[in-house]
Amino acid sequence: MKNRLLVIGGVAAGPKAAVKARRCDPEMEIVIYQDEDDISYAGCGLPYYISGIVKVRDELISRTPGKFVVDGIRIQKNRRVERIDTKERTISGKVVESEKTFTDHYDRLVLATGAEPIRPRMDGIELGNVFFLRSIFDADAILESIGSGQIQKVVIAGGGYIGLEMAEALILLGKKVTIVELAPQILTLFDEDFSGVLRQYLEKKGVQIFTSEAIKALKGNDGRVTRVQTVSQEIETDAVLMSLGVRPRVELAKQAGLKMGDTGAILVNEKMEASAEGVYAAGDCVETTHLVTGKRVWIPLGSTANKQGRVVGVNVCGGNAIFPGVMGTTIFKSFDWNVAKTGLNMKEAEEEGFRPIQAIVRGHDRADYYPGQKELILKLVADNGTGRILGGQVIGEGPSDKFIDILAMALHAKMTCKGLAFADLAYAPPYSPALSPMIVAANVLTNKLEGRVQGIEASEVREKLRTSKDSFQVLDVREEQEVKEKRIPNSLWIPLGDLKKRMEELDKRKEIAVHCDQGLRSYKACLRLRHEGFENVKNVDGGMLCWLDEQESGEVRKK
C-alpha cells in the first residue's frame, strides 16, 4: 500500500518538502493543505512587488497548483486544518468562508505553518489603512490602497528588516515615510554603531526615524487612520504599516500535543522530527540550533525554511538527512546599500559568555585605481581568548553578500582570525584589492589578540567623556580639513605627522583614546605612543565613521 504524506502549509518549507519527497518516492500519495488561495509564493519578494521593482504578481509565484499536479502532488487550497489526531493519524478542518468540513488521514505529516505578524492590542488597530505584511494578499491590499491616490504619508511601526525594506519601497513610490521604533535603535540584531550608520544614511534618503518611541494608539476619521499617538507626540499619517516582528504559528501543533521548545516554536530534532511519531515540522514554526553557541534558537528565514523542507522530504521517505543548524546569516537591500549579518554581534557575544573583540574597516570591492569601485564597512567579531570568529556585519554599496558569505563559511569551519587572515581569496583589480577587506579586518583582530593595540568602542568613549574627564583624553590624529568638517567635542587635535614633536601635550597618566577617520592612522599613532612610554592607549574602533553622537565643526585652533 502506498504511503500517504500530508503537508500543512504551502508557502516555503511545505512545498519544498513535498517536491523533494516526490523525487525520493515516485509512488507516495502527497497532498498539500493551504488556508490561502495562492501557494508557493516568494514572501521575501513582497516589498519589491509593492515598490514596482517586481512588476508582475505572478512572478512571485514559484510553483502553481498545476505544476504540482503534473508531479502528482494534490493541492487543497482554502482548507484550514483545525485539528490533528496523532494517535489516529488524521487531520480535520473547514473550508475557508464555508461551513463545509473535511477529514483526511496520513502515514507521514509535515507541519509548515510558518509565522504570523505580531498584532498588538491597541486602540485604533482595526481602522482602515492599517496594514500588516506577511502574505501576498497583504501586499495586494497595500497596493490597492496606494493606487487609490489617498495615501501620501505612511508611518511604519518597527525598524526591522521588513520595515526598512518597506521604507525604501514607499520612498520609491513618492511617499513620505516615518519609522517609529520602540527600541533605542533600528535594526536591533546589529550593533549600535552599524545601526547608527545605517540610520544616518536612511535619513539622508528622506526617511524620518524616531527611536525609543512607543506607540500608544492609532486615531482616525471616517473609519481610516489619520494620526499615530506615541508617548511624546502625534504624527499625521494616511496609513500605518505594523511591522513589529513575527511569532511562530504553533496553535495547531499545541492542539496536537506536540512539544514546544524554550523559544516558543515547535521542538524538532536534527531530522526535523517532532515529538509525535510520523510528524515532522519545518520552516518558521520550528526552532533549531545556533551553530556558534550550540543553543536552541528561533530565527525565521526563507532560506532556512527551504533547506529544512528538503531535509524533511528526504526523511519522510525513509532517508537520514540532517539539518545541523543556523547562524542567522541574512542580508537585505536598503536603497543603494546592502546590509548583511551573520553569527553574533558584540552584545550577543558578551551575553553568551565570550570575551568579544571587534575590527571595523572601511574597504572597497576592487583595487583603488580601478574605476567604478564601491565602498563598504565591515565588522568582524572574534573571541579574545581563542581568536575564534564569532560573527560579522557588512554595510555599504559594495558586495556585502560576498563578504558575509565568506564569514558564514568561516563560522561553519570554526576558523580563527589568524586562519582567516591567510584565506586564499580571489584577487584581480576588477574584483578586489590585493588584500581583501576581510583579510584586513582579520589582521586587525590578530594585532589585538597579540597585544599590539587595544581597541575601545565609540559608545565607551562617549560614556568616559561624560564620567571620567579628569582621567580620560580623546586624541584626534586626522588632518586639518577633516577636523574642520566634524570632530568629537573636547578632543585634542594633533595630526599624525606632528605627533612626535607634540607629545608633551599628552598626559601619560591618563587613558588616551586615539581616533582618525576609520582606524589606520590612529593605529599608527597608538604604536608610536606606546613606543614613547604611553601605556594606557586605545584605538577607537571605526573612528569617526562610527561616532554617531554630538559633533563639533568649524575652524580648529593651532598650537
Residues annotated as catalytic (active site), given as ranges: 44
**Helix and strand tally (H, E) in the chain?**
15, 30
The tally of CA atoms less than 13 A away on the side-chain side of residue 237 is: 30
Q: C-alpha distances in angstroms, 153 versus 45, 144, 174, 332?
A: 23, 15, 9, 24
CB atoms within 10 A of CB 101: 11
Residues 6+ apart with CB under 8 A from 405: 329
Q: Which of 20, 253, 2, 256 shows the shortest CA–CA distance to 106?
A: 2
Contact call for residues 136 and 33 (beta carbons, < 8 A): no
Q: C-alpha distances in angstroms, 22 versus 28, 61, 71, 116?
A: 7, 20, 7, 28
Cα gap 61→40, rounded to integer Å:
6
Cα gap 265→293, rounded to integer Å:
18
For 194, the 3-state DSSP assignment is: helix
Cα gap 449→105, rounded to integer Å:
60
Cα gap 199→202, rounded to integer Å:
5
Q: Where are the beta strands (DSSP E) in 405-555?
A: 454-456, 472-476, 492-493, 511-515, 537-540
Look-up of cell digits 536534527 = 270
For 172, the 3-state DSSP assignment is: helix
Cα gap 22→29, rounded to integer Å:
9
Q: How buried is residue 13: exposed, middle or buried, by Cβ count under 10 Å (0-12/13-18/19+)? A: buried
Q: Which of 55, 2, 9, 91 shows the shortest CA–CA distance to 308?
A: 9
Helix axes 302-315, 13-24, angle to 10 degrees: 30
Residues 6+ apart with CB under 8 A from 368: 433
Strand pairing class (389-396; 115-117): unpaired
Cα gap 316→445, rounded to integer Å:
45
DSSP code at position 184: S
